[in-house]
Amino acid sequence: MRVGVIGGGQLARMMVPAALELGIDIRVLGEAEDVSARLAVSSIGDYRDPGTVTAFARDVDVVTFDHEHVPQTLLRELVAAGITVHPGPDALLFAQDKLLMRERLGSLGLPVPDWARAANTGEVDVFIAEHGGRAVVKTPRGGYDGKGVRVVTSGDEVADWFEQFDALLVEEAVAFTRELAQLVARRPSGEIVAWPVVETVQQNGVCAEVLAPAPRSAGLIADRAEDIATAVAEGLGVTGVLAVELFETADERILINELAMRPHNSGHWSIDGSTTSQFEQHLRAVLDLPLGATGCHAPWSVMVNILGGPADAPLESRYPTALAEQPTVKFHSYGKQSRPGRKVGHVTAIGDDLDEVVYRARAAAASFD
């Protein structure tokens, strides 16, 4: 059972422990020698180069991804050459292009914010005028962690993007009360398993905290989130882990914000909090193995990201204090050079009392400030 992962970031890195436990031979195509997943790097090269990717892919049973950036043409060449790719290009297309995603989710009848395709600043202005003087504009491709997203009151504010893109996605600025994320995993043969819906807390457009399950979500909200993610996974033919980022509104509507077709920051808690982590589940799913149970070890799991500080202070240098103060918290380092604002690790606490679990997780993360 050989799995090849394109991209050597922390998502690939966190697949390695799961692969080792299950006895899966995991290999990574890394961008450089010192990537986060360096222990499993078997070749180094550009994920946009057909020769590099094809040679890498020929040595494994299935190709999967640390990120969504492998070009469609290259993915289709792999499939045409008989290589198994999960998620496949037909599904990944909707994670790569937000305009196509919005169109497809709309045609599936799934709840999305009001949106339009804008071909110029004037069309952005029209949308803004119809939506209370404000809109969210997104580049169709290449955005992540708040990049490629602007909240604007005039089309002029995204004039520069029209130099790179034929069209932009314009959306209503949803007056959400909180953000949720629903993760599911789907096998090629159809089995789908969901984790509980979680609440995600963003700071400066970057995920800061995740509460699992989302407080006050039992019943209607949890059911609706799972139904939506299941419909997306089946409707788009997603294989592996699918993360559906959601808005919850004051009137209990749930709207789809973004999709990711890979393990996702909102699922990191599952390493320590769930019977099956998202990384193990992703590997099981792309190998078309039976999926694992997603029960929780405790009523609450809280994950807090650790963002980098000055480059000369590696995360591990704080362990003598941090580990002593929080012996029950699980610490995760991505083995990355620290840089201000960069995700370099995370912590997870689990327990019976939400306030206490939040306190422990935040205190542990604060050791690295």
Using CB under 8 A as the criterion, which residues of the chain lie in contact with a copy of itself when the complex forms?
1, 13-14, 16-18, 20-25, 39-40, 271, 275-276, 284, 289-293, 295, 297-298, 314-316, 319-320, 323-324, 327-328, 330-335, 345
Instruction: Report d(CA 155, CA 153) in Å as an integer.
Output: 7
State both tokens at 272: 């320590």
Least separation in angstroms between residue 334's CB and a copy of itself is 7
| Cβ atoms of residues 42 and 8 within 8 Å | no
Local structure of residue 214 (DSSP, 8 states):
P
Closer CB to a copy of itself, residue 139 or residue 338? Answer: 338
* Residue 122 Rama label (left phi>0; alpha psi -120 to 50; beta): alpha
Instruction: Report d(CA 58, CA 326) in Å as an integer.
Output: 45
| Cβ atoms of residues 260 and 242 within 8 Å | yes
Closer CB to a copy of itself, residue 109 or residue 327? Answer: 327
Instruction: Report d(CA 192, CA 185) in Å as an integer.
Output: 6
Instruction: Report d(CA 357, CA 346) in Å as an integer.
Output: 15
Closer CB to a copy of itself, residue 96 or residue 301? Answer: 301
Closer CB to a copy of itself, residue 214 or residue 315? Answer: 315
Least separation in angstroms between residue 139's CB and a copy of itself is 33
Closer CB to a copy of itself, residue 72 or residue 328? Answer: 328
Least separation in angstroms between residue 309's CB and a copy of itself is 15
Closer CB to a copy of itself, residue 161 or residue 334? Answer: 334
| Cβ atoms of residues 36 and 337 within 8 Å | no
Least separation in angstroms between residue 303's CB and a copy of itself is 13
State both tokens at 279: 């990384």
Question: Which value, to the nearest 10 degrees, does the dihedral of the CA atoms of residues 221, 222, 224, 228 take?
Answer: 130
Least separation in angstroms between residue 357's CB and a copy of itself is 13
Closer CB to a copy of itself, residue 51 or residue 327? Answer: 327
Residue 33's nearest CA partner among 43, 23, 46 is 43
Least separation in angstroms between residue 17's CB and a copy of itself is 3
Least separation in angstroms between residue 44's CB and a copy of itself is 17
The residues, ordered by sequence, that sit 6+ positions from 251 with a Cβ below 8 Å of its Cβ are none
